[in-house]
Amino acid sequence: MGKPTGFMDYKREDAKAFSVKQRIKNYNEFHEHLSKKEQEQQGSRCMDCGVPFCQSGMQIGPAFSGCPLNNLIPEWNDLIFKGCWEQAYNRLKITNNFPEFTSRVCPALCEKACTCGANGDAVTVRANEYGIIENAYNEGYAAPKIPKVRTGKKIAVIGSGPSGLAAADLLNQRGHSVTVFERSDRVGGLLMYGIPNMKLEKKVIDRKINIMKEEGIEFKTGVNVGKDVKAAELIKEYDRIILACGASNPRDIKVPGRAAKGIYFAVDFLKSTTKALLDNGLKDGSYISAKGKNVMVIGGGDTGNDCVGTSIRHGAKSVLQLEMMPKLPDQRAEDNPWPQWPRICKTDYGQEEAIEIFGSDPRVYQTTVKEFVADKNGNLKSAVLVKLRPEKDVKTGRLMMKEIEGSEYCADVDLVLIAAGFLGAESYVTKAFGVNVNARTNVDTAEGSHKTNVDNIFVAGDMRRGQSLVVWAIREGRDVAKEVDESLMGYTNL
């Protein structure tokens, strides 16, 4: 490494967030990024460690540790320290199709496994990645690269989320002709409508999609395969088909009063805001509004946090966030050592904003809904909540949350957002193509394979592995591209 003592000479400096009062005035990304010189200094903190767990992407204990894409992190950190920004970009692009996305929305599994983080502060890997890709756009390194030779093979990718886009990108660069079908009005899938602008401004997606179009990929939006277009037509027209439709079935909360007006799935709430923001700047009232309402978010994950942050920007009167499970510890437990993923309590941007605006953390742990209560017009007016206690199931050993008798209480709410996760692939797509699904309703494949039970049809992303991270979706897309290419050509150089 260029500076073996960098991690001792310099402290960690990351992109600073704008103040809460400043950032909740709009829906823009809200970090002030480091200068090129400062980023080079941060690159020098990447130590010459013997085993770079940051790029391992391996399972250690119950979770994965390090980058699922096996990004060559020590190499490009060293290159930016030396000021070799174009070479750093070239090394980054070897493993990651979309660093402009992951440097904004990835929870940075790499940093959690960083050797510096074992006894100090991890290297700013995600910020360094952001610096590399944005510099590449500024300097022209990220310009379109049009394939010089075409194979004559045609591939249809159903779904334009991160897995579908990654597969399309690689297969197009290989020389195959790729068409991506998207049922929404804009390309991006989860990236476009599942992640708020505050984390990923949509002009960043459009910038990359425009490059992919110049490189020869065809995008067809507003086409719902399985309904607007029959699967048999695509099977006849294309040599291979990749299903990358995501895990699109939101998990519901089935309790008395569920039919009350004012209860929505989080994905519908977030999509309505993003679409209205892009279509008309939120001026025509075509979105689900939290303005002046007592909002309750059911679910403590990233999507729940996004609902909290979005509700605050709408002008919510109050925000309550329910989490069924106990609060995680603030520090690593003894049975959760580095370099495992740290199972600790994280206070994200939405919760930070709620704490400052409303004076307290919106999260209530070990609590769930027992009943929704509507007024005489059917509009939601309150919810009956109940406290839970953890108990181990004698047979399975799994932790189960049981109701505490007599712990019920009422909360005034007139807008509920269900962010309880997703159950699997939508049945109309799987039935249209005749592919088998497993018990979790994900498309069934053999271990380590993306091939379905139907000839020439492959699957990738959340549709195969279940709800997961953007970085895992990109890995899935890369893997399925390699498998499809080999099935077409008899070998692959992907």
Can you tell me the mean pLDDT for 283-289?
93
Residue 162 confidence (pLDDT): 98
Residue whose structure tokens are 């940093």: 111
Distance spanning both ends of the chain, measured CA to CA: 29
Can you tell me the mean pLDDT for 457-471? 96
Domain range annotation of the chain: 6-139, 154-248+423-489, 263-418
User: Is 130 in contact with 123 (CB distance < 8 Å)?
Assistant: no
Angle, helix 349-358 to helix 302-314, in steps of 10 degrees: 40
pLDDT in tens, 93-112: 999 999 999 999 999 999 99
Task: State yes or no: pLDDT of 2 exceeds 70.
Answer: no
Residue 460's pLDDT is 98
Which residues 6+ apart lie within 8 Å of 348 measured at CB? 302, 305
pLDDT of residue 248: 86
**Dihedral of the alpha carbons of 92, 95, 99, 102, in degrees to the nearest 10:** -130
Q: pLDDT tens digit string along 31-90?
A: 999 999 999 999 999 987 888 999 999 988 888 899 999 999 999 999 999 999 999 999
pLDDT in the model for residue 398: 86
Number of Cα atoms under 13 Å in the Cβ half of residue 257: 22
Query: What tokens were used for 469?
Result: 């991270």
Q: Average pLDDT for residues 357-361, to the nearest whole number? A: 97
d(CA 469, CA 410): 35
pLDDT at res. 461: 97
Supply the pLDDT for residue 396. 83
Question: Per-residue pLDDT tens for 241-258?
Answer: 999 999 989 999 999 999
Residue 189 has pLDDT above 70, yes or no: yes
Confidence of residue 1 (pLDDT cuts 50, 70, 90): low
Can you identify the CATH homologous superfamily of domain 263-418? FAD/NAD(P)-binding domain (3.50.50.60)
The total number of residues shown for the chain amounts to 494
Instruction: Name the residue type at position 37.
Output: K
Q: Tell me if 6-139 shares its fold with 154-248+423-489.
A: no
User: Which H or E run includes 475?
Assistant: helix 470-489
Tokens representing 111 are 């940093």
pTM of the model: 0.96
**Integer Cα distance of 295 and 103 in angstroms:** 30
Q: Give residue for tokens 């989080």.
A: 266
CATH superfamily of 154-248+423-489: FAD/NAD(P)-binding domain (3.50.50.60)
6-139: CATH topology: Fumarate Reductase Iron-sulfur Protein; Chain B, domain 2 (1.10.1060)
Q: What is the pLDDT of residue 60?
A: 87
pLDDT of residue 240: 98
Per-residue model confidence as pLDDT tens digits over 141-184:
999 999 999 999 999 999 999 999 999 999 999 999 999 999 99
